[in-house]
Amino acid sequence: MIRRFGLVAALTFGLAGAATAQSSIYDYALQHPTEDAALTTPPSLGASVPQNVQLHQADDGNGVYGYFFYDGRPVIVDLGTRSIVRIG
């Protein structure tokens, strides 16, 4: 029972940390907009971002999430996989 609680707590805190990091880069992107990326289809959650799309990072250089803009909205990307984790 205690092991199960520890696993649930670790997963919960891990997800909370990821959400905080995503919010942080999202806020940064809103304050530092870029030109919209040219994509052939609109971005969708989980989709991979093409290599020709330039990803931007926050000045703190956390290296976990980056962003680009599409249709005037920030799109948050996992830098390790180049997959979209949040759209505007």
Strand partners, 73: 70
At residue 64 the predicted structure's pLDDT band, cuts being 50, 70 and 90, is very high
pTM over 0.75: yes
Domain coverage including residue 35: 2-87
pLDDT digits (tens, 9 = 90+) for 14-31: 445 567 778 899 999 999
* Number of domains the chain contains: 1
d(Cα 68, Cα 5) in Å, to the nearest integer? 38
At residue 63 the predicted structure's pLDDT band, cuts being 50, 70 and 90, is confident
* Stronger pLDDT, 11 or 64, i.e. the higher one: 64
